[in-house]
Amino acid sequence: MIRRFLGSRALRKFSRDKLALVSLVVILLYLGVAGAVGFFGFIDREDTTDRIGPDNQVGWFETPTVEQRIHALEFYLDQIDGALGRRDPAKALAAIDFFGLRLASTDPDEVGETLDEVAEPFDELYEVLEEDAFDDDPANEERLGDVEEGILGMFVEPEGGAGRFRRLALAFGTDRQGRSILLRALYSIKVAVQIGLVSALISVLIGTLLGGAAAFFGGWVDAAVVWLYSTFSAIPYIVLLMVLASMFLGSSYEGTLVPVYVAFCSTFWIGPCRVIRGEVMKLRELEYVQAATAVGFGRMRVLMKHVLPNTTHLMFINFSLLFIGAIKAEVILSFLNLGVKNEPSWGVMINQSRQEVISGFMWQIGTATFFMFALVLAFNVLSDALQDAFDPKHV
């Protein structure tokens, strides 16, 4: 069977399509990341929920504005202040750890001294900023630089691997809670792939079996399946997702991905079912199917071993379309607070970025959209290429 696949016209046609090959590589990359995160713990959940630095820091490609710099400094000062105010300041100072970024000195007295030095100039600059008068005096820039040096100088970045990791993690900035956007976006790959794979796979399986059985056995089986998918498809798609997902609110499954899986599988199976049913209706009239019956094979065996295997090209195409559908639907479900809850996902990130966008901070939405865009585009190109390869008349 593998040999037949490798030698088939379809594969040859597919390989000539360079764009399709690129998409395949992209998809494999994503799968690789998902696997690394999911199975090898390359990025674990703490990485996505722990603070890495001040909130809403910009990524590498943007220079921070004055407001953002002062905001970051304010963050650091608050951290130190807070620690100094604790019962055991030394311990609290030592506990400050943002992915390896720590204080150079954890001696409360030393730290307190340095703090006093920078506090006043910092407050001055803060007021200047409030009055929107920063640009009035060119010397402000230099003063800001000095204060920055003073405050940031109290911290020391981690060495070696951890240091590179932290710098890389800051490449796309931080979100409203100071978490690494890049790490969250990469972790979301795992979530997206998980949701996409499970939903698409189960939906295609259910749809194929039901559609194949309906077309092949006819009679009441067909009537039942057609009734079933007419029923499901009569409820608008988003409404169906909402109703199904809300069934789990308050149950023990809330917060897991189970509501998402149930909602998606119950909605998506209809597409493949229709397609496979149509195809099997054509196939069952072919003579080799009759031949199998003449040899004495039972109906079930004929369906499973002779008819359905000839629909695998349609199964693949539908799988890739549903994968995309699942990823995009997850964004919408998460927006409606019915989707992913305890993990980062692209939907969660985009939802959280609503407020940030208003202030002009585009990093979270941009990163999430970018990563999602690449995967969805790759699948779109892939399914187009698959359709082309298997059906030359496809436009």
Partner 1 sequence: MGALVEVRSLVKHFPVRGGVLNRVIGRVHAVNDVSFQVQRGEVLGVVGESGCGKSTLGKCVIRLQEPTAGEVLYEGRPITGLSHSELMPYRRKMQIIFQDPYSSLNPRMTVRAILKEVLTFHRLASGAALEERIRSLIEKVGLRPEAADKFPHEFSGGQRQRIGIARALALDPEFLVADEPVSALDVSIQAQVLNLMMDLREEFGLTMLFVSHDLKVVEHFCDRVIVMYLGHIMEEIACEDLQERSIHPYTRALLGANPINDPDERRPLTVLEGDVPSPYDPPKGCPFAGRCSIASDRCRSEMPPLETRSDSWRVACFEV
Partner 2 sequence: MWAYILRRLLYNIPVYLGIIALLMVALRVNDPVWGFLGKNADQEAYEVKKHAMGLDRPFHEQYIGFLGELATFDFERESWTQQGRTVGDLVADSIGPSLAITVPAMALTTLVALVIAILSAYTRGRLPDKFMMVSAVLGMSISFLVYIIFGQYWGAYVLNDRLGTEVFAIQGYESGLANWKHYCLLPVLISTIVAVGYDTRFYRAVMVEETNRDYIVTARAKGAGKGRIMFVHMLKNAMIPIVTRVMITMPFLVMGSLLLEVYFNIPGMGRALYKAISENDFPVTEVLVALFAGVFILTVILTDVIYALVDPRVRLQ
What does 295 bind: partner 2, partner 1, none (CB cut-off 5 to 8 Å by kind)? partner 1
- Say how far apart CA 8 and CA 297 lie, in whole Å: 28
Amino acid at 395: V
Q: Is 252 in the site for partner 2 (CB under 8 A)?
A: no
Q: Is 249 in the site for partner 1 (CB under 8 A)?
A: no
In DSSP terms, which residues pair with 156 in a beta bridge? 102
Q: Which residues neighbour 126 within 8 Å (Cβ) at sequence distance 6 or greater? A: 70, 74
What does 320 bind: partner 2, partner 1, none (CB cut-off 5 to 8 Å by kind)? none
Select the residue interacting with partner 1 from 131, 132, 159, 287 (CB under 8 A): 287
Please state the separation of Cα 41 from the chain's center in Å: 16
* Cβ closest to partner 1, residue 296 vs residue 360: 296
- Say how far apart CA 311 and CA 29 lie, in whole Å: 28
Q: Is 328 in the site for partner 2 (CB under 8 A)?
A: yes
Select the residue interacting with partner 1 from 306, 318, 371, 379 (CB under 8 A): 306
* Cβ closest to partner 1, residue 4 vs residue 393: 4
Q: Is 11 in the site for partner 1 (CB under 8 A)?
A: no
Tell me the two tokens of residue 93: 């100072």
Select the residue interacting with partner 1 from 297, 316, 332, 380 (CB under 8 A): 297
Residue of 8, 383, 39, 370 lying closest to 194 (CA atoms)? 39
Interface pattern 277-316 for partner 2 (x via CB under 8 A): ----------------------------------------
- Say how far apart CA 17 and CA 14 lie, in whole Å: 5
Q: Is 373 in the site for partner 2 (CB under 8 A)?
A: yes
Select the residue interacting with partner 2 from 34, 193, 244, 276 (CB under 8 A): 244
Q: Is 25 in the site for partner 2 (CB under 8 A)?
A: no
- Say if CB 106 and CB 88 are below 8 A apart: no
* Cβ closest to partner 2, residue 177 vs residue 231: 231
- H helix runs in the chain, sequence order: 2-7, 9-16, 18-40, 45-49, 66-84, 89-95, 108-130, 139-152, 160-169, 181-217, 219-233, 237-246, 258-268, 270-283, 287-295, 299-301, 312-335, 346-358, 363-390
- Eight-state DSSP code of residue 132: T
Binding span for partner 1 by CB under 8 A among 35-43, 186-194, 234-242, 280-288: 280-288
Give the total of residues touching partner 2 (CB under 8 A): 43
Tell me the two tokens of residue 384: 């187009």
Q: Phi and psi dihedrals of 250, rounded to 5?
A: 85, -5
Tell me the two tokens of residue 168: 């890389």
Select the residue interacting with partner 1 from 290, 337, 342, 355 (CB under 8 A): 290
In DSSP terms, which residues pair with 101 in a beta bridge? 98
Where do contacts with partner 2 occur on this chain (CB under 8 A)?
Answer: 227-228, 230-232, 234-236, 238-239, 242-244, 246-251, 328, 331-332, 335-337, 346-347, 350-351, 353-354, 357-358, 365, 369, 372-373, 376-377, 380-381, 384, 395
Contacts to partner 1 by CB under 8 A: 1, 4, 286-288, 290-298, 306, 309-310
